[in-house]
Amino acid sequence: MTSRQAALVPAFVMMGLSASLPTTAMAQTESVTLEQAVAKLAALQAQLEAVQAEVAALRAQAAAKEQQPQQQAAATPPPVPADPIKISWKGAPEISSKGWSFKPRGRLQLDAANVSHPAGIADSGLGFTNEVRRAYLGVQGTVPGGFGYRVDIDFAPGSPEFQEAYIDYTRGRTTITVGQHNGFQGLEELTSDVNTSFMERAAFTDAFGFERRLGISAQYRGKALLLQGGVFTDNIADLSDDANSSYGFDGRIVFAPKMGGTQLHVGASAHYRDTGTIGAGTRYRQRPQVHTTDVRFLATPALPVTAETNYGLELAAISGPFYAAAETHWMNVSLAGAADPTFFGGYIEGGWLITGESRGYKDGAFDRIKVANPVSDGGIGAFALSVRYDHLDLSDAGIVGGRQQGYLASLIWKPTDYVLFALNGGRLIYDDAAIAGTGGDRDYGATIVGLRSQIDF
């Protein structure tokens, strides 16, 4: 109630009293009974109570108006910056703001292995060996406008080497990539080495010289269809030679429908590479399924290669904790002044995730196994058991590089999503091996056992 309203109350009361009570003059001309006086006083009290109620209502209304701005201020959150800096977890801390992002990445693989000595072969690379298989450090991220980048450097070799170094642009389902990156050789080669089922990929992938190369490529990712193609020169490390004028083309198609709970994969690829002026002296060879040794039981002589033409087929399926995969690959080698041999490699394998997880799959390749019960949460991690038959034939058209049949098994334990321990073992059977044993014998076998400790982010 305002001060003016408060001042009116006594005045109003006085006016009521003066109008109701008899004066001396009125008493002389008119007599008032006691009952009439009481009635007038009661009416006056009712009017006073009505005024008090009106004043209380005015006070409540004024108080509500004073509190309303404070309530609105409390209900309205403070303004949020238009695009704040965000830190999220995507296998490693990722910092992002205004379309930019930056995430560190890396991996460390420590390998130890034992390769048995076939009779009559003494080589320091046989027996127990160990190495730092890979030691990557790198970064990846995005740039406003649909662009991205990635750089990985491997510090495990004698001198650091670029593995990935590219810029890409994505619009809708299409991505264009420029720089050093993988071609599109096949399922096994395009599966990251941190997600493979064995310590080393199938024998044909190394024997046929699959590697990352500098080039430009495009890929289209549909719901079930993947199309990939590119033009490549050579690996960055090999381009320091001015005489290197090699170039090649890669193409791949994958149909990967999902039928119920089963992920299917059917793929085919084709490749052509002109070796340019560096073809003379090319050898195709392979280690005994572990990388810790430089011994090659399979190896062709140096060949005057002018071009390579490759074809590959791929099949895979993932259903719950079970998976299966198979690939075949043919390489026709064009030789200067000699018949052209065709070398062949392939594998078939199956696996079971004992703890119930499923093998990951993404963009035409196997992906990370997501651990259901990591040790960090009191679980036992994920266990995977795989078996594989691996075949490589480097003998044809008068070229004798030997044949290998591998019977392999792998046990993987992943205590968390980003830590892995692998135990590999198997028996390799050789025909026409490059290294002669007792009495010139080139048909023999070797037993391998390998162990890997790995962390990646």
Pairing of strands 419-431, 212-221: unpaired
In a domain, residue 257? The reply is yes
In a domain, residue 86? The reply is no
Domain boundary among 58, 75, 92: 75
* Same domain as 251, residue 193: yes
Number of domain units in the chain:
2
| Cα(69)–Cα(72) distance, integer angstroms | 5
**Nearest 5°: CA angle at 312, between 206 and 182?**
55
In a domain, residue 132? The reply is yes
In a domain, residue 186? The reply is yes
* Same domain as 33, residue 135: no
Residues 6+ apart with CB under 8 A from 116: 126, 446, 447, 448
| Cα(46)–Cα(52) distance, integer angstroms | 10
H-only helix segments in 339-453: none
**Tens digit of pLDDT for each residue in 101-120?**
999 999 999 999 999 999 99
Q: What is the pLDDT of residue 79?
A: 66
* Same domain as 404, residue 287: yes
Higher pLDDT, 83 or 368: 368
* Same domain as 152, residue 107: yes
Q: What is the Cα Rg of the chain in Å?
A: 41
In a domain, residue 84? The reply is no
* Same domain as 437, residue 291: yes
Task: Give the residue numbers spanning the domain of 331.
Answer: 100-456
What's the whole-number mean pLDDT along residues 201-205?
A: 98
Q: What is the pTM of this model?
A: 0.81
Residues 6+ apart with CB under 8 A from 452: 109, 110, 111, 133, 199, 420, 421, 422, 424
* Same domain as 114, residue 15: no
* Same domain as 114, residue 60: no
In a domain, residue 355? The reply is yes
DSSP classification of residue 111: E
pLDDT of residue 352 exceeding 50: yes
Backbone region of residue 239 per phi and psi (left: phi > 0; alpha: psi in -120 to 50; beta: other values): alpha
Q: What is the pLDDT of residue 20?
A: 44
| Cα(411)–Cα(422) distance, integer angstroms | 6
* Same domain as 266, residue 119: yes
Domain boundary among 75, 108, 123: 75
Nearest CA to 289 among 412, 391, 203, 209?
Answer: 203
Phi/psi for 57 (5° steps) reads: -65, -40
Confidence of residue 82 (pLDDT cuts 50, 70, 90): low
In a domain, residue 95? The reply is no
DSSP string, 309-353: EEEEEEEEEEETTEEEEEEEEEEEEEETTS---EEEEEEEEEEEE
Nearest CA to 220 among 184, 178, 173?
Answer: 173
* Same domain as 106, residue 45: no
* Same domain as 178, residue 117: yes
Q: Can you tell me which residue has the tokens 């084709």?
A: 270
Q: Can you tell me which residue has the tokens 């690829």?
A: 269
**Tens digit of pLDDT for each residue in 210-266?**
999 999 999 999 999 999 999 999 999 999 888 889 999 999 999 999 999 999 999
In a domain, residue 120? The reply is yes
Other CB atoms within a 10 A radius of the CB of residue 168 amount to 19
Phi/psi for 197 (5° steps) reads: -85, -20
Q: What is the pLDDT of residue 21?
A: 41
Return contacts of 441-446, CB within 8 angstroms, 24+ apart.
Answer: 441/119, 441/120, 442/402, 444/118, 444/119, 445/118, 446/115, 446/116, 446/117, 446/118, 446/288, 446/297
| Cα(318)–Cα(324) distance, integer angstroms | 7
